[in-house]
Amino acid sequence: MMVATLRKGIGTVMFLLLTTGCWDRVEINDLSIVTGAGVDLADDGQLELSMQVFVTKQSKAGTEGSGSVASQTIVRTVKGKNMADATSKMQELLPRRVFWGHDEVFVIGESFARKDINATLDYFIRHPSPRERANVFVAEGKAKALLEWQPEIERESSEALREMTKSYTGLNVNMLQLQQLLIGPTRTAALPLVKMNMFKGNKTGYIHGSAIIKKGRMTGRITGTDTRSILWFKNEMRNATVTVTPEGAEEPISVFLNKNKASITPSISKSKWSAKLSIQSEGLVAENPNPLNLMEPKNMSKLVQAVEAEVSSAFIPSSGEPSGKMPISSVSRMRSAGSIRGSGARRRRIGIRSFPPSKLRLTRNAKSFARASSPGIHQVLQRKSENRRMMNLLYILGLSGLGALNALLEWKRASGRERVALMGLILLAWVLAALVILFPQLPDPYETTSSLFKPLAKWLRK
């Protein structure tokens, strides 16, 4: 009788907790949804904060009882002594509460980046509202002008910038990665540099190289060619089209490298740094206007050598000497292990396997590539890590309490075998839940099933 009463009481409490209503709801029409933010250096030396706000309103075309949602973005700008002051003034300017939950783009103006970005980054990591996964860019000119840009294809400029990072046309760095780089052992950071240009009377933004950050300040920039070299070193080169004219060909041949893998093996010899860069690539012959038969090993070898030379040129400055913009002094001829498929031809393996070590000598500019750190950022990151561990511990303790309570309520009703099955199921559920709490990056059931059956599917297709 007591157990039944206790069960009913627990069920009533759980029901009341799940039916608390929506007294603390926040309507979307009461929010100023920030889709992009940027900071510039004002003429009077103050911080100039610009916000791109997504506005939703009822469309006039909607009929009574139903209507479509029309959307647009507006850009508002305020000045302040620092980020906190500017943010509070921005809230006074907007009639709705500022909501940072959808801010996925943060743009830093070039003039502000050359001054100091440490305090601004420190504010964003301390404040709980801005997203740490927002992509960070440096604008060549004003960040406000980039936010006001109206792209022809995407809905707003912030969405266009996000799509650029997904295509890996330049570096892809978010707020959290930038903070970790600036407090890491190398204290190195490079951010994608966005440039505005006029095309047929319309403004167009595109990634134009990268900005180098040193001691919290932008000290220089590197070209798009050097940026692609960094993508190779970081193993982030997803797709690349290489156009070469091999020996024996009259017209250029284009090869699409769609599977690339790079690894670095550093070493020290006589107090000098060196590194072995290994690249493995697989590609498709995208265009071959020549009567050159690539099924012949001799012709295929010439094409591979030409592709190797073209990719190797990305690591060699045009002058042949160490460049102040690039931490690479020289590189030996590359030989990549991979395969190239021609039009209508079956897949073939290339009989070359090694990539000799390339000497990597740091120039004076590269040695101090980006030594910047804010003590406050490190302390906040450490505090967040401790809070996360504490919350995980509380989750597991609560999960253990629920499992023990369930076992206590069902123990007397169950028989011998049922008790064993009950304890086994509770223990299994506890282990699975603990794994999800402690390791949120684990693959979900769909990814696990796909990884198990993909090899079988490939084997069946053969």
Rounded to whole angstroms, the Cα distance separating 409 from 336 reads 65
Query: Do 177 and 325 fall within a single domain?
Result: no
The verdict on residue 22 lying in a domain is: no
Question: What is the reported pTM?
Answer: 0.63
Query: Do 52 and 173 fall within a single domain?
Result: yes
Residue from 308, 304, 300, 302 nearest 356 by CA: 308
The verdict on residue 202 lying in a domain is: yes
The domain containing residue 395 runs over which residues?
379-461
For 114-119, which contacts have Cβ atoms below 8 Å and span 24 or more sequence positions?
A: 114/217, 114/218, 114/219, 115/41, 115/217, 116/216, 116/217, 117/213, 117/216, 117/217, 118/182, 118/216, 118/372, 118/373, 118/374, 119/82, 119/83, 119/374
Most confident of the ranges 39-48, 117-126, 277-286, 357-366 = 39-48
Q: How high is the mean pLDDT of the chain?
A: 75
Query: Do 190 and 304 fall within a single domain?
Result: no
Cα 314 from chain centroid? 23
Query: Do 186 and 330 fall within a single domain?
Result: no
Query: Do 216 and 234 fall within a single domain?
Result: no
Residue 19, phi then psi, degrees to nearest 5: -120, 50
The pLDDT tens digits of the residues spanning 379-396 come to: 555 666 677 777 878 878
The verdict on residue 340 lying in a domain is: yes
The verdict on residue 61 lying in a domain is: yes
Is it the case that residue 107 has pLDDT exceeding 90?
yes
For residue 17, the one-letter residue type is: L
CATH number (domain holding residue 321): 3.30.300
Query: Do 337 and 258 fall within a single domain?
Result: yes
The verdict on residue 310 lying in a domain is: yes
So what's the pLDDT on residue 16? 55
Domain boundary at 222, 243, 269, which? Answer: 222
Domain boundary at 189, 222, 255, which? Answer: 222
Query: Do 250 and 216 fall within a single domain?
Result: no
Rounded to whole angstroms, the Cα distance separating 161 from 35 reads 11
The verdict on residue 1 lying in a domain is: no
The verdict on residue 18 lying in a domain is: no
So what's the pLDDT on residue 8? 57
Is it the case that residue 306 has pLDDT exceeding 60?
yes
The pLDDT > 70 percentage for the chain reads 73
Query: Do 175 and 237 fall within a single domain?
Result: no
The verdict on residue 374 lying in a domain is: no
Query: Do 314 and 255 fall within a single domain?
Result: yes
Query: Do 358 and 427 fall within a single domain?
Result: no
The pLDDT tens digits of the residues spanning 128-155 come to: 888 888 999 999 989 999 999 988 888 8
Q: What total number of domains does the chain contain?
A: 3
pLDDT band at 83, cuts 50/70/90?
very high
Query: Do 117 and 133 fall within a single domain?
Result: yes
Domain boundary at 367, 402, 418, which? Answer: 367
Query: Do 431 and 311 fall within a single domain?
Result: no
